[in-house]
Amino acid sequence: MPSDTTFVERAFQDKHLRLEKSGKAERIVYAATGHFERWSDPEEKVRAEFYAELIYRYAYPPERIGVEITVPDRSPSDFADLVVFRDDDRKRPFAVIECKPESISDAEFTQAVEQAWGNGNAAKFRAAYVGVVAGNTRRFFDCSEKFGALERDKNIIADLPADYGKPPQWKYRKGVSREWLDIQPVSKGELIAAIKKCHQTLWGGGRLSPPAAFGEFCKIIFVKVRDEKAQRKKGDPYDFQIKTDEPASALAGRIKAIYSEAQERDPEVFKEPIRIDDATLKMCVSHLEGINFNATDLDTKGVAFEQFLDGFFKGDFGQYFTPREIIQFCVEMLAPDNESIVLDPACGSGGFLLYALDYVRHKGLDFHDEGSNEHYRYWHDFAEKRLFGIEINDEISRVAKMNMILHDDGHTNIVGFDALENLGEIWKQNPRVKKNAFDLVLTNPPFGAMVKESEKGKAYLEGWELLRYIGKGEQPEGSAGEMLSDHKAGKKSLKARKSIKTEVLFCERVWHFLKPGTGRAAIVLPDGILTNSSLQGVRDWLLAHFQLLAVVSLPQEAFQHAGAGVKASVVFLRKRAENEEPDDDDAIFMATPANIGFDATGRKTARVTTKSENGRRKVEVHSTDFFDVEVTFEKATAHGGGGEEWQEKSRRVATGTGILGQYRFFERRPESFFV
């Protein structure tokens, strides 16, 4: 079977399944028995997919697979979704399967397990095996008398037996043969569904806070990816899976052993042990065991993880997630290459770093063939050795690390620390994060908050150059960002400052990190720094230390859907060389985009046109004032099985479009103008 053909597609091709019109609706017909059901039901799509698997993967004759079978001794309305019979007359059940929508909760899954057990163990039924299938989450049980009637842990089997044989000890082994399966890459929809289910299991309706649950999820994914990369011979089983007749405690012990070993090798990645109970961990493994994260392409992982995070971390954590459109614009403007050393000192979930990686990865295709070792080294070495982030919030720094792990590393360069701490203390966390070390800084630092000596201590505010230029005498609380109009005039007889705004300190910290003369930055700053007359001192300091390359004023609503209504701009700067004097004739690029791709509610506002389309492939152009993006879609089986839908495969910025294209022209002929 071709790798791009699913079991259910093959079943339709071979006429084991067919779709028929029934009035205005469609119904699916199981040809061997003539049974039909409404096709629009999500549960029916799961049943059809597993029905096809029973034929092609488990080698059961379709004539022996019953659909919606009445169970004796159960209530009249109780039916088994699928029954594999031992005989052609369909009188002797071998396995009873309940099929549920992939979106069901853990409680509903547990209820389905009991339903399957009740059906499979009815007095006149007595199946050897029962199971529940909810998309990629599956659980099968041995119903033999060697286990107690209420046992639901030790009698879990790795997989349903094939062709009336015995259950395999392991379901997934490296390499594919007649006897075993390898883990497989998945689509964006499947990956999002698995991530959501795993997180829901961990959250447990309030057992953990959502961020704490996500922290545990990150640890589990860390183990999963580590296990996929471990050296093993063809045919060796993966450790991250449920083994036949293995209790949850034994599985948890194996998972935690991998995690502990990884902790010893990378002690700064995850400092805390896995803190969830064995049964919860086993459920998470069931959601993820069949997914090959490393083989799933980076575009799919990036879009899936970003969409999940976008929906999950809104509200209290909205400030840690800069909108995708703004991030991509900043990265495209600075155009990193694989030799650039890049830092985000307020990295949040790692968005700027990941888009820089994505930019370099696609840039590498100009020089190397996709999939070649040369192309892999081009972007992977960049990810591993040249991308750095600092994030003060421990929970969010784990999100950034997880993002980097899913994108094939660089996670050890995420420093969970305060970027405004003493530079020497930051250097202790990672010796490569030091002064004058970075080619590019891309960041959306927190702003509007006050750094107070009363809270941080006197040492925290020592050594900041900008503190020497703040207005004379003690100022009221909240005026820490106010500067003299002449930053040099304030050097004499100034009293020590007690507080200062975070955005002011971040401006200086960016200057600390950049390489003199060549280092460039894209910083999101509140417009107050650029326009308030009381902050002229800040602007004087900035112009003395940086060449101002461009200012792109964002609409008022740019951050409203993330809970921040402050008007802001993206400022592009180059750090001046030592002893370099400002030039009043330096050209500055300025722009005020109106359509940046989303509105105040987060609704997408890009203008969409179709560039090309055939039966299997479509290219759309999504236009904003920033630039045009060409988005490629391919037809694929809809998530959940059955039918087809357009699924996004990649997106590329169209060169020479929008403000980005005008800035590239400006770089060639730097004459000040306003867009």
At 184-227, the pLDDT tens digits run: 988 888 888 888 888 889 887 567 777 778 788 888 988 999 99
Return the minimum-mean-pLDDT range out of 390-404, 428-442, 456-470, 518-532. 456-470
Last residue in a domain, options 135, 157, 179:
157
What number is the average pLDDT over the span 377-397?
A: 90
Domain identity same for 150 and 192: no
pLDDT at 483 > cutoff 70: no
The arithmetic mean of pLDDT across residues 295-300, rounded, is: 80
- Residue 564 in any domain: the answer is no
Lowest-pLDDT range, 105-114, 356-365, 637-646, 651-660?
637-646
Q: Is pLDDT above 90 for 396?
A: no
DSSP string, 339-358: T--EEETT-TTTHHHHHHHH
Q: Within this chain, do residues 130 and 16 fall inside the same structural domain, yes or no? A: yes
Are residues 13 and 103 both part of a single domain?
Answer: yes
Contact 133, 250 (CB under 8 A): no
In a domain, 166, yes or no: no
448 found inside a domain = no
Is residue 557 domain-resident?
no
For the segment 319-337, the average pLDDT, to the nearest whole number, is: 90
Burial of 144 (0-12, 13-18, 19+ CB in 10 A): exposed
Residues 377 and 295 in one domain: no
Last residue of a domain, one of 419, 443, 467: 443
| pLDDT given for residue 311 in this prediction | 62
Domain presence at residue 230: yes
Same domain, yes or no, for 133 and 224?
A: no
DSSP three-state, residue 624: coil
Domain edge (last residue) among 443, 459, 477: 443
Same domain flag for 61 and 138: yes
Which domain range does residue 141 map to? Answer: 7-157
Whether the pLDDT of residue 482 is over 50: the answer is no
More confident residue, 411 or 119: 119
72 is a domain residue: yes
Residues 6+ apart with CB under 8 A from 62: 16, 30, 31, 32, 55
Q: Is residue 485 pLDDT above 70, yes or no?
A: no
212 and 253 share one domain: yes
Q: Is the pLDDT of residue 3 over 80?
A: no
Instruction: Judge contact between 587 and 670, C-beta under 8 A.
Output: yes
Whether 154 has a pLDDT exceeding 70, the answer reads yes
Do 149 and 25 share a domain, yes or no? yes
Phi, psi of 375 (to 5 degrees): -65, -40
pLDDT of residue 2: 42
Alpha carbon distance 194, 284 (integer Å)? 9
Shared domain check, 12 and 150: yes
Q: Are residues 11 and 151 in the same domain?
A: yes
Same domain, 22 and 88: yes
For the record, the structure tokens of 97 come out as 């399967």
pLDDT of amino acid 488: 46
Among 507, 478, 482, 509, smallest CA distance to 494 is for 482
pLDDT confidence of 317, banded at 50, 70, 90? low
Dmax (CA) of the chain: 100
492-520 average pLDDT score:
82
Q: What confidence tier does 438 reach under pLDDT thresholds 50, 70, 90?
A: very high
pLDDT tens digit string along 588-640?
Answer: 999 999 999 999 888 899 999 999 998 889 999 999 999 999 999 888 766 55
124-140 average pLDDT score: 91
177 found inside a domain: no
Query: Rounded mean pLDDT of 524-538?
Result: 87
- Give the whole-angstrom CA distance, residue 283 versus residue 106: 8
Which one has a higher pLDDT value, 360 or 371? Answer: 360
Q: Is the pLDDT of residue 473 over 60?
A: no
Highest mean pLDDT among 13-22, 553-562, 635-644: 13-22
Q: How many domains does the chain have?
A: 4
Question: Per-residue pLDDT averaged across 318-331, rounded?
Answer: 84
Asked whether residue 99 falls in the same domain as residue 207, the answer is: no
Please check whether residue 460 lies inside any domain of the structure.
no
Q: Can you give the CATH number for the domain in which 125 is found?
A: 3.90.1570
